[in-house]
Structure 1
Amino acid sequence: MIGVFLFFILACFTQNIHANRTVTVSTKYGDVVGYETDVARIFYGIPFAQSPVNNLRWKSPVPIDKWSPNVLNATIPPPACPQPPCKVPPILCPAIVSEDCLYLNIFTPLSTQSLQSTPLPVMIFITGGNFQFLDASAPIYESERFVNTTGVVLVFIQYRLGILGFLATGTGPDDIKGNFGILDQRLAIAWVKSNIDAFGGDPNEITLFGQSAGGQSTALHYVTNDMQPFFQRAIIQSAPLTIPFRTYLEYVTPTVLLAEQLHCAFGDIACFRRASFEDIIIAQEIINNMITSLEVLLFFEPWVPVIDNVIVRGQLLDLVYNTSFPLKQLIIGTLTEEARFFIYEGWAKPVLPTVYGELILGIFRENAVKVLERYPPDSIFDERPLLSRIATQWVFACSNRIFARKAASYSYVFGYPLDFDGWGNETYCNGYVCHGAELPYLFESSWLNFTDAGRRVSQSMATYWTNFAKSQDPNEPIRVLTPWPRVTTGNEKYMYFQDPLQVPESYLKNDCDFWDKIGYK
């Protein structure tokens, strides 16, 4: 699961609270009432689809109907989609979950209130969470400062998660066909393109970006022909591109286990539909701790899109090399210690050399000897740091290099740890750049807690990202002190986010050359 931070709490209690004023926007569906602070306008919980309950559970999302003449109250964050309990302090997890969860949140600068203002670039963010956790309203995504300082319109979208979003039983008329979370994303993106002008956004200047599972989702839309009219450029952050999507055959075991937990006969889809979402989520939590595939990485991300050859036509690393259309401008990158959170969450106690060897053998099988020769045990006490290094390279950095070599315009590595006490009980991430650590810096959502160095990193990241959204060039129009070079054949320079910023070349070249030979399947 994406690392979730104690700074969420800090952000909640340290933001300047002002007397918020309501603001009304007229859309083709009816009026929307949000609110404005001293720096931004905020609209929470705008529905883009009908509630996916009853007969619409495990169905493609249905576009929302007009709510006019009623006025939509968009001042309160919407419920999150159903999900198992977070393995973090409860205050950091969604307070309310509901199957009625297909909503989006919009942040705009105050300047968009003027009818004469020039439409602003739009950025649509797809949140992460292993395709089964978290939501679009977490305090980390409170982006009032971000939109105010950069002059963009920012949208966060929610989509169905876990079993309710990704279970796939087959392609028959009564089957659960899967990929509902991806279809939710598609509909939300289409809604934004059709309606964002009412909020001051330019529907012809949309940047799609996402992190973790949201990064995988962004990569999928990026290589999908049907999605090309809906965005102009993309940013893929920390996508674990080595984790495979399932086939229908690989969803048989999770389906059998779900039937057992719900006391349904295998294949009795009507029984599945009668179950409450609470019972489904209880079953999901139990199945999460079971082995459902020989693909070991699916233990970390068990509910993924299914290759149905309609919505998802293959694995991402294959799709990017087999597109029939020109690829759009792209920023792609990872963090220096992506896997540390997952390894230490999965193994709470030290991993001894003998266990390390068994894990390498189980994961890499015929290639295990080569991996052990290159990465022999280096501690008699605990091999988790070595496992974290291997997983960071194999699951994240090096498979991202494969994708980047075909598609990237700009590449980055984020190497700045949280510079305040933000990891709470996840003390193993203190001083390290764990998965998700860039998000507070990108969205400037914990600005008051940053050191001066952290603020420089944050401001730089926000500027590069939004410059790209405005011009397809992270170096323009807002002047930057460190130019970010394009990726070209034979030139793999990348932006290294540290303080100060650096522009090295050939990140993890020797290691990634090794993993390219081992492969990512």
Structure 2
Amino acid sequence: MAVTTYSQLLVFAALVFVGRTALLTKPNGPIVRTQYGAVRGMFVEEGTIFLGLPFVVPPVGELRWKPPRAHNTSWAPAVRDGTVPGPACRQPGCGPNDTDWQYDCNRDKSRTQSEDCLYLNVFVPRSVLNSTTVRLPVMCWFHGGNYRFGTGSSMLYDGRILANKTNTVVVTTNYRLGAFGYLVTGEGEDDARGNYGTLDQIEALKWVQQNIADFGGDKDKVTIFGQSAGSDSVAVLLTSDRAANLFHQGIMLSVPFTIAHKTQFEAIRLGNEVTKLANCSAGDMKCLRSKPADDILRASESVGTYIADPFRLLEIFLQWGPTVDGDVLPRQTVDSFAKGQFQRKPFIVGTVGEEGVLFIYGAFGKPMSKVVLDAAALAFLRGKGPAALREYNPPQASDYRPVLSHAVTDWVFECATRNIIRNAVASGENDVWLYVFDHVWSFKSVWHDQSYCNGHVCHGEDVPFVFQTPLLVNLSFTADEQVMSDTMAYHYGNFAHTGDPNKPSRYVHTTGNVLKSPLNWPRYNEGNQFPNMNFTTPQNVMVHDYNKEKCDFWDKEDIYLGTD
């Protein structure tokens, strides 16, 4: 962590945030006054950080598997310590003795986890506007991790550099994971009804609406963004009336649109299996709520290969997550976009070049024979498997995992994403932009336990360049990587400020080598050329109708949800 200079402290002391709340300087950190009391954060070179702010009553005891209740308790007259993160939500791994090669565990030394985990973090930029009238846009991040892993308090998602580069207030938040967030046992009044993790995200956005002005943020200019399960969360929120008035636009990194969310019937079947493994009777919520969190976690992890619907085998890659309940998630997100039943809001969406490698090589640890490839195509695609095999027409090889990885990248991610953005345009939402990220990062140590990703652009490989957090953990970018990363910050910052990644805001501060020749990023429908920003090195390029042949095939097969 960089050392803040005395002159910077003096600058901070002279600046006043928006509205009635002043940013006060103390020898050991800035103090912001909120409706709950004062909170002391910490200065860093890039700005100020406030960690571990509660936004919900702890969902423990009788509140396990209950909708979140907004935090309503004052900690005054005490000053809350905002220099330490709240616990991560319960999840497998990320214990104090586990290695954390990707820096996505909780940042505290003990890697604390708890059911009492609904805390968020606020990162305020150094380049605070010397104004009492202009407020900063807000970027609220939902982390990925298969709805089973992750925390908004990891170093990977530290928002200080992004906030400073984009001159926005960045918020990162936790939400309940796995069975704690998404268990469904039935539809009775006391049953676990699922979607608690999504409701937590909605409650975090309500907190932003009610409190972010205290930190200099503009509640009327909120961009939600996320990657993987976090970007799936953004897609869900774009289709949920529950969140309609809580944000204004979105950025989605690598949404696995083809993987269907469970129906209520499927979710109850999974929930009954977890209940049995926890040694409780079906529907016995008193028994389930009496179980230690460790027992629930073990039971939920034991159903990793359970198939609730044999016609939707892809669910083994996303066992937990939002359930189609007709309320929080009214229907499958793919269907919502196809039917025009989504919020008309600007969005950016895209993928990385080799999304499937992480999943296929993780699932198949040895070289794959042609027989196994054929079997996989038939199992996952059923009657349309032969057509897919003909389309990809693999040559004879000793290992067919590259072929399957390519097909999964197209089917689950890239072409489904193209389908979504085209449906959005067809429904009248023209302020949409598409990208593909295809740079292989230079720091190989991060893939230590997944070495098959070295040399590939695996799922999640764009995230370190969005946040630029390798610079905080003694890793470094090449010169070209720094330019690419700053260019991403330039476009995302413009989007947060103006709703257009090309339209500069005078409040976005970025490096000169970006501003000399920023590449224009046309809206997706412009000129019917289907432009696609290619984030890459040595410099970004614009491609048109990216991956047309394969995506036309998947569109023709109409198989994004795996139905015949």
TM-score interval, normalised by the smaller of the two chains: over 0.9
Whichever residue aligns with residue 461 of structure 2, its letter is A
2:491 is the counterpart of 1:464: yes
Q: 1:71-115, CA deviations, whole angstroms, 9 ceiling, x for partnerless residues?
A: 221111111100112698356434111000001111011344967
The structure 2 residue matched to 1:64, chosen from 67, 71, 74, is 71
The answer for the alignment partner of 1:263 in structure 2 is: 279
User: Is 1:488 matched with 2:488?
Assistant: no
Structure 1 position 426 matched with structure 2 position 436: no
Match of 2:162 in 1: 146
* Letter in structure 1 aligned against 2:234: T
Give the match for residue 545 of structure 2. Answer: 506
Task: Give the corresponding residue for 1:520.
Answer: 560
Tell me, in whole angstroms, the C-alpha distance in 2 between the residues paired with 1:154 and 1:120: 10
Find 2:135's aligned residue among 109, 115, 119. 119
Question: Does 2:387 align with 1:380?
Answer: no
Q: Structure 2: which amino acid aligns with 1:16? A: A
Alignment of 1:189-204 (within 5 A): 189-204=205-220
Matched to 2:448, the amino acid is: G
CA deviations on 1:437-469 (whole Å, 9 max, x unpaired) are 111111111235100011011000111011100
Report the counterpart of residue 47 of structure 2 in structure 1. Answer: 40
Structure 2 residue identity aligned to 1:70: A
- Equivalent position amino acid for 1:403 in 2: I
Is this contact kept in 2: 1:223–1:327, CA < 8 A? no
**Partner residue, 1:364:** 381
Change (3 A) 1:312 1:155: same
**1:29 partnered with 2:45:** no
CA contact (8 A) 1:338 1:396 kept: yes
1:317 paired to 2:334 = yes
- Per-residue deviation, 1:223: 2.1
Aligned to 2:535: 497
User: C-alpha displacement at 1:379, in angstroms?
Assistant: 4.2
User: Contact 1:420–1:451 at 8 Å: present in 2 too?
Assistant: no
Indicate the SS of the match to 2:87.
Answer: coil
User: What is the Cα deviation at residue 293 of structure 1?
Assistant: 3.1
Give deviations 1:56-83, integer Å, cap 9, x for gaps: 1000000001323332211111111001
**What residue number does 2:510 align with?**
none
Q: Deviations over 1:494-520 (max 9, x none)?
A: 100012110010111110111112211
1:381 to partner: Cα distance? 1.5
SS in 2 for 1:400: helix
| 3-state SS of 2:188 partner | coil
* Length, aligned pairs only: 507
Cα distance in structure 2, aligned partners of 1:54 and 1:326: 36
CA distance in 2, matches of 1:268, 1:79: 28
Percent identity, aligned pairs only, is 37
CA offset at residue 377 of structure 1? 3.8
The C-alpha deviation readout for 1:404-435, integer Å capped at 9, x for no partner, is 11336111001111122232122111121101
Higher mean C-alpha deviation, range 472-481 or range 84-93: 84-93
SS at match of 2:469: coil
- The answer to whether the Cα contact below 8 Å between 1:36 and 1:110 also exists between their aligned partners in 2 is no
3-state SS of the aligned residue for 1:230? coil
Contact preservation (8 Å) 1:43, 1:107: yes
1:409 partnered with 2:432: yes
Q: Distance in 1 between matches of 2:342 and 2:384?
A: 35
Structure 2: segments with no counterpart, 5+ residues: 6-26, 425-430, 506-514
Conservation of the 8 A alpha-carbon contact between 2:137 and 2:218:
yes
1:219 maps to what in 2? 235
Q: Which residue of 2 aligns with 1:446?
A: 470
Provide closer, same or farther for how the CA distance between residues 289 and 18 of structure 1 changes in structure 2, counting only shifts above 3 A.
Answer: farther
Q: Which amino acid aligns with 1:370?
A: A
Report how far residue 376 of structure 1 moved: 3.3
SS in 2 for 1:52: coil
Q: CA deviation at 1:344?
A: 1.1
Quick one: distance in 2 between partners of 1:211 and 1:257? 29
Name the SS of the counterpart of 1:84 in structure 2: coil
1:78 equivalent in structure 2: 86
Is the contact made by 1:139 and 1:445 (CA closer than 8 Å) also made in structure 2? Answer: yes
Deviation larger for 345-354 or 475-484 = 475-484
Contact 2:31 2:40 in 1 (8 A): yes
- Partners in 2 of 1:322 and 1:368 — Cα distance? 27
Q: Which residue of 1 aligns with 2:511?
A: none
Note if contact 1:111-1:117 (Cα within 8 Å) is conserved in structure 2.
no
SS in structure 1 of the partner of residue 123 of structure 2: strand
Moved more, 243-252 or 378-387: 378-387
1:99 paired residue number: 115
Provide, for residues 353-392 of structure 1, a one-character-per-residue CA deviation record: whole Å limited to 9, x for no partner: 1111111111111111111111234343211111111111
Q: Answer yes or no: is the 8 Å Cα contact 2:186–2:283 preserved in 1.
A: no
Give 1:147 deviation, angstroms: 1.6
Name the CA distance, whole Å, in 2 between partners of 1:461 and 1:271: 49
The question of whether the paired residues in 2 share the 8 Å contact of 1:464 and 1:474 is answered with yes
Q: 3-state SS of the aligned residue for 2:200?
A: helix
Cα distance in 1 for partners of 2:41, 2:309 equals: 45
User: What secondary structure sits across from 1:203 in the alignment?
Assistant: strand
- 1:326 to partner: Cα distance: 5.6
Match in the other structure for 2:59 = 52
Amino acid at match of 1:249: F
2:99 aligned with 1:89: yes
Match of 2:14 in 1: none
Would you say the 8 A contact 1:223–1:323 is kept in 2?
A: no
1:399 CA displacement? 0.8
User: How far off is 1:261 after superposition?
Assistant: 1.4
> C-alpha separation between the residues in 2 aligned to 1:117 and 1:443?
28
* C-alpha displacement of 1:39: 2.1
| Equivalent in 16, 37, 40 of residue 2 of structure 2 | 16
Whole-Å Cα distance in 2 between the matches of residues 457 and 197 of structure 1? 31
